[in-house]
Amino acid sequence: MKVLIVCLMLCVIACAAGTRAISKQSFGKTAEGEEVYLYTLKNSTGTEVAITNYGGTIVSLKVPDRAGKIEDVVLGYDDFNGYLTPKSPYFGATVGRYANRIAKAKFTLDGKEYHLAANNGPNSLHGGLKGFDKQVWSAKDYTDAKGEHLALHYLSEDGEEGYPGNLNVQVIFTLTPRSELQIEYSATTDRDTVLNLTNHSYFNLAGQGKGDILKTQITLLASRFTPVDETLIPTGELRSVAGTPFDFRKPTAIGERIDASDEQLKLGHGYDHNWVLDAPAGKLSLAARAVDPDSGRVLEVLTTQPGVQLYTGNFLDGSISGKGSKPINHRTGFCLETQHFPDSPNHPAFPTAGLKPGQHFHSTTVFRFSIDRSKQDK
């Protein structure tokens, strides 16, 4: 009898989750002729996410607004070829082996110096010339009581892009019935190495292509940030946000202070900085909240990581065409890249980004969507 009740409950949960709501279709072929796929995960509230196993990339994320109108809230391209655009700014991608920058494209581990590709001035950015965002991951989709899942796996071989150790990486995307997109990263290595894994989605909660993100209200649960030098490498200081345009402890529009006369904003051409989260790393906690006042769409970001990079699309300049063949203009998307601090391998005082054989790296980030009804209720 008990077994029967449990089975019935699981069935009800699965039905609420929209039963089997994953579809898989061909997305195109790489230059090497390898076929890549687009997986679409849906729940019963109308939320839908499409992810390709090329670069573990979120291609579209459709969520309802206050009136139930669905929009795609991430920047990107209509088709696979777009994702092959040279110097594409990592739209939606899974970034690694080391997301963000490593100063002068080198670091020392166990007394040995490792050299990386300098692909961002003197520094190495987002894993080098062919980072995880440009690799084909193996994929498996499945459904259970927690929601719809896409599990991606990639083996980054010893020496790839200059990093030591064979790194086995798994990223599991889960769309829950509550419109949370959970991203779980795990990794193991056979040699000492460093890693920093993130997702590089550019959000526009009004809908992609619907203007800039300057009205978006952001809250960051962080009392300090890591100021940078002129090449966007942290100086090592953990600076209080109090009294600066970096104080987002209360909801503030991105555009309110972005062009203020501030040395750090000038260096970043806007916000392109790492905030030191107040919550203890390792515990899944709220890191950021973004609200589009007009549509009422809300994005909450929870993470186990110690930092988050708020990047306000300062380098977008209309030179790249995205979905609907429309130019992607300045500051029309913002990223909340949960992460270890940039350049941690060269900053022993920062939380370690090291991984040793026998250790199991595990981190979780959740993009949770909801609706702010306060405006409507007034």
**201 touches ligand GLA (CB under 6 A):** no
- Confirm whether 200 is a catalytic residue: yes
- Least distance (Å) from ligand GLA to the CB of residue 342? 7
- Least distance (Å) from ligand GLA to the CB of residue 375? 30
**311 touches ligand GLA (CB under 6 A):** yes
Tokens 């498996």, residue?
Answer: 140
Considering the complex, state which of residue 39 and residue 202 has its C-beta at the smaller distance from ligand GLA.
202
- Least distance (Å) from ligand GLA to the CB of residue 286? 21
Q: Are strands 307-311 and 70-72 parallel, antiparallel or unpaired?
A: unpaired
Q: Which helix (H) or strand (E) holds 172?
A: strand 167-175
**315 touches ligand GLA (CB under 6 A):** yes
Considering the complex, state which of residue 89 and residue 165 has its C-beta at the smaller distance from ligand GLA.
89
Name the nearest CA neighbour of 144 among 49, 14, 43, 15: 14
- Least distance (Å) from ligand GLA to the CB of residue 75? 11
Considering the complex, state which of residue 49 and residue 335 has its C-beta at the smaller distance from ligand GLA.
335
Considering the complex, state which of residue 99 and residue 169 has its C-beta at the smaller distance from ligand GLA.
99
Size of the site for ligand GLA (CB under 6 A): 11
Instruction: Write out the binding residues for ligand GLA, residues 232-261 only, by CB under 6 A.
Output: 232
The catalytic residue among 48, 337, 340, 347 is 337
Contacts of 145 (CB under 8 A, 6+ apart): 10, 13, 14, 17
CA distance 217 to 215: 6
**218 touches ligand GLA (CB under 6 A):** no
- Confirm whether 160 is a catalytic residue: no
Contacts of 55 (CB under 8 A, 6+ apart): 83, 93, 94, 132, 133, 134, 135, 137
Class of residue 66 by CB neighbours under 10 A (exposed 0-12, middle 13-18, buried 19+): middle
Tokens 């750090």, residue?
Answer: 264
Name the nearest CA neighbour of 100 among 341, 350, 303: 341
**91 touches ligand GLA (CB under 6 A):** no
Among 272, 292, 343, 372, binds ligand GLA (CB under 6 A): 272
Query: Is the separation of the CB atoms in 42 and 21 below 8 Å?
Result: yes
* Helix, strand or coil, per DSSP, at residue 374: helix
Q: Are strands 361-371 and 297-303 parallel, antiparallel or unpaired?
A: antiparallel
**335 touches ligand GLA (CB under 6 A):** yes
As a whole number of Å, the CA-based R_g of the chain is 20
CA distance 258 to 312: 9
Instruction: Write out the binding residues for ligand GLA, residues 15-44 only, by CB under 6 A.
Output: none
**90 touches ligand GLA (CB under 6 A):** yes
Among 89, 131, 234, 306, binds ligand GLA (CB under 6 A): 89
* Helix, strand or coil, per DSSP, at residue 22: strand
* Part of the chain binding ligand GLA (CB under 6 A), chosen from 214-222, 285-293, 309-317, 322-330: 309-317
Query: Is the separation of the CB atoms in 149 and 182 below 8 Å?
Result: no
Considering the complex, state which of residue 47 and residue 338 has its C-beta at the smaller distance from ligand GLA.
338
The catalytic residue among 149, 200, 340, 347 is 200
Q: Which residues bind ligand GLA (CB under 6 A)?
A: 89-90, 100, 125, 232, 272, 309, 311, 315, 335, 337
Q: Catalytic residue positions?
A: 200, 337
